[in-house]
Homo-oligomer: A and B are copies of this chain.
Amino acid sequence: MSPSRVEVEIPPLKDLNIENITENVQLINSNTPDPRLKYVLERLVSHLHDFARETRLSTNEWMAGINFLTAVGQMCSDVRQEFILLSDTLGLSLLVDSIDHPKPPASTEGTVLGPFHTHDAEHEPAGTLISSDPDGVPCLVLCTVKDTAGRPISGVKIDIWETDSHGFYDVQRPDRNGPDGRTVMQSDREGVFWFKAVVPVPYAIPHDGPVGKMLKLLNRHPYRPSHMHFMFDKPGYDHLITALYLRDDPYESSDAVFGVKESLVVELTDVTPEQIKQYDCREDSKLITYDFVLVSDKEAKNLREANAMKAMKSLGRRMKLYKGLPVPEVD
């Protein structure tokens, strides 16, 4: 018997029925040597089976589910991730982000990544105009990034991406020949980063696929309120995926993917004559300003682990942490 293996007695897997199948599937799955995989699978099978039992799921409904998930998978391509869209529209993405990236009160909240981030945007200097859209309303964006003690953080890598004025990301354009409406910047010694963009507009998430059909059956609209995405990365700080939303957007309180948080809603104002001169921007530019606050890796880890153990305790489970994630305490 290998010490890295958890050996279990597997009873004969025969004559399984509504009542005994779950414990038997759990037993055969519990041969994995990875305690975290074992726990995640145990919870997955338990919920999957309870779902079928509590709904008395019919064979026709099961087949509809199989066909739906197959269609979701087959809709995925290099530029479209329909399973992320499904996760977003069921609220799972926001939930997982909230669990994995807890925020102490003074820090910037996270929100959904969405399916439109790419890895091909150019690193560009402060002040760059990130959108080539001739129809967009120009928008000056002035930001800082600090730590929870209020100290500027320099050298943070910031990914920024937004729609054009027609509500499309560059990857949704069949004639895309490079990044547009997206950039990568670094904060300077004062924690400042700034750029010129266009005012984002509301848009429908891709709804010509299976997720769109699901939303229609549920009488839900596919719209997201106007927003601009930001992703912050610097060793020592918890990875922050967030977005800024525009105040008074028609979809501010009914986002199809549940991303809006009051602390991330900003007023769109006009640039002042001084700003037009200082930042060399158009007179009709709108202005967004925001001060982002990053959490250190250590703060995030402590908070995540404390929250996890508190949640496990409230479930009445005797757990311990394994690589920072809960697994059952085994006698």
Q: Which residues of A contact B (CB under 8 A)?
A: 5, 10, 12-18, 21-22, 24-25, 28-29, 31-34, 37, 39-41, 43-45, 47-59, 61-62, 66, 69-74, 76, 81, 83-84, 87, 90-101, 217-220, 252-255, 258, 260-262, 304, 307-308, 311-312, 315, 324-326
Contact = CB atoms under 8 A, between A and B. Distances in A.
Nearest to A42: B55
Contacts of A29: 218, 220
Contact of A81 (B13, B45, B57, B70): B70
Given A57-B99, A74-B73, A262 B92 contact: no
Contact of A92 (B39, B62, B324): B62
A94 B62 contact: no
Nearest to A67: B83
Contacts of A100: 57-59, 62
A43 B66 contact: no
Contacts of A307: 56
B326 A96 contact: no
Contacts of A12: 252-254
14 contacts: A5-B219, A14-B261, A15-B261, A16-B94, A21-B91, A21-B95, A28-B254, A48-B90, A48-B92, A55-B325, A62-B93, A69-B72, A70-B73, A73-B73
A24 B220 CA distance: 13
B94 A21 contact: yes
Q: How many protomers of this protein does the assembly include?
A: 2
A269 to B, nearest CB: 21
Nearest to A259: B16
Contact of A98 (B18, B25, B311): B18
A13 B258 contact: yes
Contacts of A16: 91, 94, 258, 261
A15 B87 contact: no
Interface pairs A-B: 3 shortest CB-CB:
A73-B73, A12-B253, A25-B91
Contacts of A13: 253-255, 258, 260
A99 B59 CA distance: 9
Contacts of A5: 219
A40 B52 contact: no
A258 B18 CA distance: 12
A262 B17 CA distance: 12
Contacts of A325: 55-56, 58, 61
Given A14-B260, A69-B83, A91 B32 contact: no
A53 B66 CA distance: 25
Contacts of A218: 28-29, 31-32, 37, 41
Given A32-B217, A49-B95, A69-B69, 9 more contacts: A21-B258, A29-B220, A37-B217, A47-B50, A53-B311, A56-B99, A56-B307, A70-B73, A70-B76
B49 A48 contact: no
A40 B55 contact: yes
A39 B62 contact: no
Contacts of A59: 96-97, 100-101
